[in-house]
Amino acid sequence: MSEKIVSLEDIVSLAKRRGFVFGSSEIYGGYAGVYDYGPYGVELANNLKNAWWKYMVQQRQDIVGLDSGIFMHPEIWKASGHVGGFSDPLAECNNCHTRIRADHTLEELGEQADEKMSTEQLNNLFDKHRTEIKCPNCGKKEFGEVKNFNLLVKSNLGNFSDDMDDNPVYLRGETCQGIYVNFPNVVDSSRVKVPFGIAQIGKAFRNEISPRQFIFRTREFEQMEMQYFTNPETELEEFEKLRQYRWNFYKTIGIREENMQWHKHENLVFYAKEAYDIEYKYPFGFKELEGVHARGDYDLGAHQKGSGKDLTYFDPTGNTRYLPHVIESSVGLNRMFLAVLSDAYTVETLANGESRTVLKLHPSLAPIKFAVSPLLRNKPELVAKAHEVYDMLSKNYMCEFDDNGNIGKRYRRQDEIGTPKCITIDFQTLEDGTVTVRDRDTTEQTRTKIENIAG
Where does this chain bind ligand GAP (CB under 6 A)?
Answer: 174, 176, 206, 208, 217-218, 221, 223, 225, 288-291, 328, 330-332, 334-335
- Report in angstroms how near the CB of residue 176 gets to ligand GAP at its nearest: 4
Q: Which of 150, 394 has the CB closer to ligand GAP? A: 150
H/E element, 179:
helix 176-181
Residue number, 23 or 363, with CB nearest to ligand GAP: 23
CB of 218 to ligand GAP, least distance (A): 4
Q: How far apart are CA 97 and CA 142, in angstroms?
A: 10
Taking only Cα atoms into account, the Rg of the chain, rounded to an integer number of angstroms, comes to: 26
CA pair distance 233, 217, nearest whole angstrom: 36
* 85 vs 405, beta carbon nearer ligand GAP: 85
CB of 8 to ligand GAP, least distance (A): 15
- Closest separation between CB of residue 184 and ligand GAP, Å? 20
End-to-end CA distance of the chain, in Å?
28
- Which residue number, 203 or 409, has a Cβ lying nearer to ligand GAP? 203
Cβ at position 174, least distance to ligand GAP in Å: 4
Compute the least distance from the CB of residue 33 to ligand GAP, in Å.
8
With respect to ligand GAP, which residue has the nearer C-beta, 177 or 373?
177
Q: Are 322 and 231 in contact (CB under 8 A)?
A: yes
CB 197 within 8 A of CB 229: yes
Nearer CB in complex with ligand GAP: 115/381? 115
Q: Which is nearer to ligand GAP, 343 or 415 (CB)?
A: 343
> Could you tell me if 8 and 14 are in contact, meaning their C-beta atoms sit under 8 angstroms apart?
no
Query: What are residue 212's DSSP bridge partners?
Result: 217
Report how far residue 273's alpha carbon sits from residue 380's, in angstroms, rounded to the nearest whole number.
Answer: 67
Q: Are strands 399-401 and 370-374 parallel, antiparallel or unpaired?
A: parallel
As measured in angstroms, the least distance from the Cβ of 204 to ligand GAP is: 7
Shortest CA distance to 195 belongs to which of 325, 10, 368? Answer: 325
Residue 430 CB, nearest approach to ligand GAP (Å): 51
Residue nearest to ligand GAP (CB): 332
Q: CB nearer to ligand GAP: give 70 or 376.
A: 70
- DSSP 8-state symbol, 84: H
Helix, strand, or coil (residue 196): strand
Asked if 127 and 143 touch (Cβ cutoff 8 Å), the reply is no
Helix or strand or coil: residue 276?
Answer: strand
50-75 burial: b if 16+ Cβ within 10 Å, else e? ebbbebbbeebeebbebebeeebebe
